Structure 1
Amino acid sequence: MEPTFVMFSIAHFGAMAALGFLILLLFLTKKKWSIQKEKIRLIERIFALSLLMMEVLYHIWLYQSGSWNWSNSLPLELCSISLMMTIVLLWTGNKHIYDFVFYAGIGGALQAVATPVLDLSFPHFRYFHFFYVHFGIILTALYFTWVKGYRPTFKGIIKTMVALNILLPCVFALNIMLQGNYMFLKEKPTNGSLLDFLGPYPWYILSLEFVAFIIFVCLWLLFRKKKHKGESKG
């Protein structure tokens, strides 16, 4: 029998503790990443390829287990889109993509780790896939902030909100065509999530926009570049 994932179980708390440890380790070692630029680029691209490979293996597993279908297997969830953007960011270092990964990536992945929509638990492959790719999104955003010196901006919040609101109607239309529930635009997840506190359908979608904006502002205030005395405000 395959292990069933239970929220706030030992397997869940273990994953959250592992994420906390990795974030702390990255923060404590942020000034020690002074190796050659070529080696840094190689490490970034190897990590990007590992994220891509993990996602490819996930889809192979879905297909082999007879679970892949158009209604719920396409990479149209927010974290799936953030994962693709994370891979591109690691490969290119594009600062516009950094904004999306930092705000939508961290915001979505943290919520996913806290309240996972996950059926299978440790030591199943799906357990490791789920947490590896979500950890990868968060750690990449923090790596580019703490190590590479990128900084989130308020303009980045606006760009991310605009991008999300362009994505939403596209995904909504695909949900109708494919009978899917990508981004939970049709209904809430059945095993509980943040959406349970945001009202009934469809009002929780509007509530989520407000919550997303508040989370993005909090992230910006926490990680923005602090101005020193005498520095211009422009």
Structure 2
Amino acid sequence: MASEGSLIHDLPAVIVRRIAVSDMSNNVYLLTSKKTGAQVLIDAADDAPAISAMRAEAETDTPCDPQLRAVLTTHRHWDHIRALAEIARPQDGEPVETWAGAADAEAIEEAEGVRIDRRLHHGETFRCDGIELEVISLRGHTEGSVAFALDVEDGPTHLFTGDSLFPGGVGKTWSDEDFNRLIDDVESRLFARFADDTLVHPGHGDPTTLGAERAELPQWRERGW
């Protein structure tokens, strides 16, 4: 279950919480707008009661009434979507929108019986009452894998990268072509754009920064994983 330790960043406009669920230790992230109470969940991976407990803790993050407005999914793999159907149910009569990369959306719908309301493409912006995230396509782990970039006033950017970027390397791929696409996207769309202090929040495990990983890019490319 979630605990008070789920709060990981108290930013000027947004509170970021995280819990790890399931035996695969999937990270689930909750963003709450301090100004409006709007909440956005990234990857409803598993254990809906634990996710709900984290949301209950977040009631202290804002003087407003917290309301889950959207669930964003980084990619279609089963271990990242098992609680999607339950978490995406209407909250207090209000709909919860579901968003995912366009190329993965149909597979998610078929696996979980949940309609994906918005199919995301590279360069789009997700906006929801005080929360704004840039959509960054990172093809290779799956065709529709996406990361979400949270820009922070007077602070480093936060990247929610799913299974596309971890401390020590990119995500798993199943062919040389997929690996090359993924590392090309990670290099050009993340490392070439964002500063060293940019925080990386992966789909499993501990966070890192782009600066901590940047020097290893040539080694990742050479080893092929």
TM-score, normalization: structure 1?
0.25
- TM-score normalised per structure 2: 0.26
More strand by share: 2
Q: Comparing both structures, which one devotes a greater share of its residues to helix?
A: 1
